[in-house]
A and B are shown apart, each in its own frame.
Chain A
Amino acid sequence: MSSVMDRASDPDPMLPRRYRVQRRRRELADTFTLELDPLDDPAVPTFAPGQFNMLYVFGVGEIPISISGDPTRRTPLVHTIRDVGIVSHAMQALGPGEVLGVRGPFGSRWPVERAYDKDLVVVAGGIGLAPLRPVIYAALAQRARFGRIAVLYGARSPSDILFRGELQRWRTHGGLDVVVTVDRATGSWRGSVGVVTRLIPRVPFDPANTIALVCGPEIMMRFTASELSKRGVPGESIFMSMERNMKCAVAQCGHCQYGPYFVCKDGPVFPYSALQGLLTIWEV
């Protein structure tokens, strides 16, 4: 088909654009946020909540990181990163003025509009709150369009609670039901202790009329989706953000395949109903 050949002159998706670090904030002992301004092209692409960029550190490598900022503000570009490997470790040493390469945005989005006139339940675990923060910003900006909004967040311990100040502000000023729990704590913590799934019965929402967005370690997402399902939220109304090894982010290197899906293109956000057959198969 000649239409296939016509694509030969499309822009090269493997070329990074350069961004400069405007600000760096330490969030937790192993997690930090970078705010980036464009260096090359001032026209920054818009992004949708749930999407990610490939971030490149000169001479070190490139990794996929979800966008964690406000989708209504194109700049600065905000990424919250956990130091888990060579590239993220190099990134946490970058200070203001230093340059990164950025490719993207890529991937599917959290379907926030599906929750208009419905209840919205956001369940996050650990670093999973970062890819969901754009949803919360978007929801706060148009609060009246939603029914009840709940943010349920689980972290390892009180010192691992991400965006702690914002969580507090969302609870007190945002009109959101925000509940935080940790897996372990000492006696000085007066909040909830226990897995995040135990928070689900504690917030009011109408399961038949709810959109649930879940992000965190895969085990946590699986059990959370299962619990939500048990309470009557349909599989098509529960969404998860999957993670796999990504190299190209444009569905051409094959690394991120998960069953029939390319996580970089068909995901990372998937409805639970699309994944149910795969989630319980080991090593698929």
Chain B
Amino acid sequence: MQTIADELARHPFFSTLDPRDVELIAGCGTNAQFGRDEYLFREGEQADRFYVIRHGKVALETAAPQAGMLTIETIEQGEVLGWSWLFPPYRWHFSARVLEPVRAISLDGACLREKAGRDHDFGYAIMSRFAAIIVERLQATRLQLLDVYALPARGGKRVSR
């Protein structure tokens, strides 16, 4: 029977951590499961945890008037979901809805913040990994923003249609 620490140690996000730190994190973690179209969290709610997705697919979405629900991106197997627990006001910016049934490790943000406060080395280890995830996600989002598949805005010399 795999412990949470074992599960975490296999995950690329945690695999380079000191085993002691992995144990510390595992102490804040529980297994979680969600069914189709269930919400892991909703926009505006208290953000006090994050998820390591082991199986399944989650849509990060927000509602826009007239447009309905817009999906910003999907978080899938092997990825980490949620960083609003890192900084005040600790509120989710988006909702997370299950597209394909999810098995995840849910990690208690307040628990981790408290441990990080007491052990700064541990805090640094977590923060630097989260920073890497945020950077990678930001780069990807920037590419999404570029809207590369759209036709360039008219205004060049070519007159079409």
**A interface with B by C-beta (< 8 Å):** 30, 83-86, 89, 125-127, 154-156, 160, 181, 183-187, 189-195, 197-198, 201-202, 216-217, 219-220, 223
Please give me the residue from chain A that is nearest to B142 by CB atom.
A195
Q: Using Cβ atoms and an 8 Å threshold, which residues of chain A touch B15?
A: none
B23 to chain A, nearest CB (A): 26
Q: Give the distance in Å from the alpha carbon of A84 to the alpha carbon of B153 in the complex.
A: 11
- The answer on a CB contact under 8 Å between A156 and B150 is yes
Cβ–Cβ contact B73 & A193, under 8 A: yes
Instruction: Assess the A219–B143 pair: CB atoms within 8 A.
Output: yes
- Residue of B whose beta carbon sits closest to that of A87: B160
CB distance B69 to A193 under 8 Å? no
Q: Which 5 A-B pairs have the closest CB atoms?
A: A187-B69, A126-B149, A156-B149, A194-B73, A217-B148
Which of the four size classes fits the interface of chain B? 20 to 34
Distance of A260 Cα from B29 Cα, bound (Å): 57
A83 CB contacts on chain B under 8 angstroms: 161
> Does any Cβ of A come within 8 Å of B134's Cβ?
no
Known: A189-B71, A217-B148. A85 touches B160 (CB 8 A): yes
> Taking A187-B59, A219-B143 as contacts, is the C-beta distance between A86 and B69 under 8 angstroms?
no
Query: How many whole Å from A197's CB to the nearest CB in chain B?
Result: 7
Closest chain B CB from A248 CB (angstroms): 19
Answer whether A193 and B74 are a contact pair too, CB < 8 Å, given A84-B160, A198-B140, A217-B149.
yes
CB of A12 to closest CB in B, whole Å? 29
5 additional A-B residue pairs with CB within 8 Å, beyond A86-B160, A183-B147, A189-B71: A160-B149, A187-B61, A192-B57, A193-B72, A220-B143
User: For residue A192, which residues in chain B have a CB less than 8 angstroms away from its CB?
Assistant: 57, 74, 76
How far apart sit A73 and B59, CA to CA, in the bound complex (Å)? 42
In the complex, 11 of the A-B residue pairs with CB atoms within 8 angstroms, ordered by the A residue number, are: A84-B151, A86-B160, A125-B148, A126-B148, A181-B74, A183-B149, A193-B71, A195-B144, A201-B78, A217-B148, A219-B148
* B67 is an interface residue with CB less than 8 A from chain A: yes
Interface residue from B77, B149, B159 paired with A86 (Cβ < 8 Å): B159
Task: Give residues 24-77 of B contacting A (CB, 8 Å).
Answer: 57, 59, 61, 67-74, 76-77
A194 partner residues in chain B, CB cutoff 8 A: 73-74, 140, 144
Task: Say which residue of B57, B70, B78 sits within 8 Å of A186 (CB atoms).
Answer: B70
A219→B61 CA distance, assembly (Å): 26
The distance in angstroms between the C-alpha atoms of A246 and B151, with both chains bound, is: 19
How many angstroms between the C-alpha atoms of A162 and B71 in the bound complex?
A: 20
Instruction: Pick the most buried of B76, B99, B149, B151: most chain A CB atoms within 10 A of its CB.
Output: B149
Interface string of B75-104 (1 = CB under 8 A from A): 011100000000000000000010110000
Asked if B144 and A183 make an inter-chain contact with CB atoms under 8 angstroms apart, the answer reads yes
Of all chain B residues, which has the CB nearest A194? B73
Chain B residues near A195 (CB, 8 Å)?
A: 140, 143-144
Which residues of chain B have C-beta atoms less than 8 A from A197's C-beta?
140, 143
Q: Are A86 and B148 in contact (CB under 8 A)?
A: no
* Beta-carbon contacts under 8 Å, B122-140 to A: 140
With a CB–CB cut-off of 8 A, which chain B residues contact A89? 160-161
Q: B1: which A residues are within 8 A, CB to CB?
A: none
